Structures are given as C-alpha cells and as structure tokens.
Amino acid sequence: MSGCGCGCGSNSNSGGPFSKGKELVEFVFHAHGGTVRDQEIQQGPIETVCQGCKASFVLETYLGKCPECGGVHAVAPMCPTAEKIQFAGLDYTLPA
Ligand SMILES: [Zn+2]
C-alpha cells in the first residue's frame, strides 16, 4: 500500500500515485473523496502539451482538461511536474 504520498492512508482499490495513463487520472479523480482534483497545483500551474491533440495548455488543477479536445489529464499531487502528467486517452470521459 503506497497511499497518495500525503500520509492520509487513502487507498483506492484502483491505481495509485505511480500509475500511468487512465489509472492515474482515475486515482486523482477519486483521491481524498474527490477533493483533490479541483485543487490548484501547490507548486503552480504546469504548462503542458495535450497528449491527444498536441495543443498547449496550462494545467492549473491536479486534474484538468485540454481546452481544445477535452482530453483529460492529471498529475499526482505528490509529484506535479510536466513529465508526470498522465493522459487518460482520446475517448475517455470522466465518471459522472
Ligand atoms: Zn487536446
């Protein structure tokens, strides 16, 4: 059990902070009962390039969408760097 790195013991049964792609996106989506995904990235917004349509955009919260294609991207709260941003996939839509 690795938790989410903040010591809260959050233990989602799917994915974790070191997951890739959709698993990481879903991990962030559910982390802390869904309270993390809308938080601004503590270290500041991250400039990135959409891994779906290659448009550049700024990821301001731990989970964000490309303004061009709506592609869902997320970054692990414990390690929010451009290299760590994961893309959920072209046809992915967030769970309601
Ligand atoms: Zn895009």
* Cβ–Cβ under 8 Å, residues 40 and 60: yes
Confidence tier at 52 by pLDDT (50, 70, 90): very high
**What is the Å distance from ligand 1's center to 2 Cα?**
31
Please give the distance, rounded to the nearest whole angstrom, from the Cα atom of residue 7 to the centre of ligand 1: 33
**Residues measured by CB to lie within 5 Å of ligand 1, the ion:** 50, 52-53, 55, 66, 68-69, 71
Q: What integer best gives the mean pLDDT of the chain?
A: 88
Q: Are strands 56-59 and 63-65 parallel, antiparallel or unpaired?
A: unpaired
Q: What are phi and psi of 49, to 5 degrees?
A: -120, 130
DSSP string, 41-76: PTT--EEEE-TTT--EEEE-BSEEE-TTT--EEE--
pLDDT at 95: 79
Sorted by where each begins, the domain ranges of the chain are 21-87
> Which percentage of the chain shows pLDDT scores above 90?
76
